[in-house]
Structure 1
């Protein structure tokens, strides 16, 4: 009976160790997900706040440049047209380099997410 009792104790110990391992692993992954989620959320909030203010600044600067350019060439509508064309050219350039930007974003996010 002594051998059976030792086997029983060993199996109980193994089960307890397994349960502790699973519990600890679950807590670790919860913390890891929480860390990743909070970093992502704070980044998004910062981007929205800074991006919104930056966009307002760009709009005001664009209008003022268009008016100044229009006064210089004596046609306000042509000033707005030139500023609009400038943004269209920038947009087309961004479209063509978007794959490189996507690759950099994926590379950076994978480092943060999988580390």
Structure 2
């Protein structure tokens, strides 16, 4: 009799363990799907806004270069000056803000990836 009870307990334990593993697998599968979906939608939104801002910045750059060129009576010099200004801005941003930007991106990505409560 004791052997029957022990056998039934082991069968119940085996069944419970199997259900736990299956539910855990389903949970993590849904969690990974949610994380990937959030990441993909964020990337698509970022790229869409980036494309619009790039077009606007391109047009503003041409307008400023033409304005500076007309002001100096030399269009090529206007474009050269504006290119130099953008190069200086890029170097300052790279050397001045690189670590800060990397840290913020790492913190945001970590919260999005490891936050299973949402």
TM value normalised by structure 2? 0.93
Structure 1 portions without partners, runs of 5+: none
1:86 counterpart residue number: 85
Report the CA distance between 1:83 and its aligned residue. Answer: 0.8
Structure 2 portions without partners, runs of 5+: none
Report the CA distance between 1:107 and its aligned residue. Answer: 1.1
- 1:41-67 CA distances to partner (integer Å, 9 max, x unpaired)? 001111111111111111111001100
**Aligned residue pair count:** 114
Report the CA distance between 1:113 and its aligned residue. Answer: 1.0
1:107 counterpart residue number: 107
- Higher relative CO (CA 8 A, sep ≥ 6), structure 1 or 2? 2
Following superposition of structure 1 onto structure 2, how do residues 12-51 of structure 1 map, counting pairs within 5 Å? 12-51=11-50
RMSD: 0.8
Distance 1:68 1:6 in 2: 91
TM value normalised by structure 1? 0.95
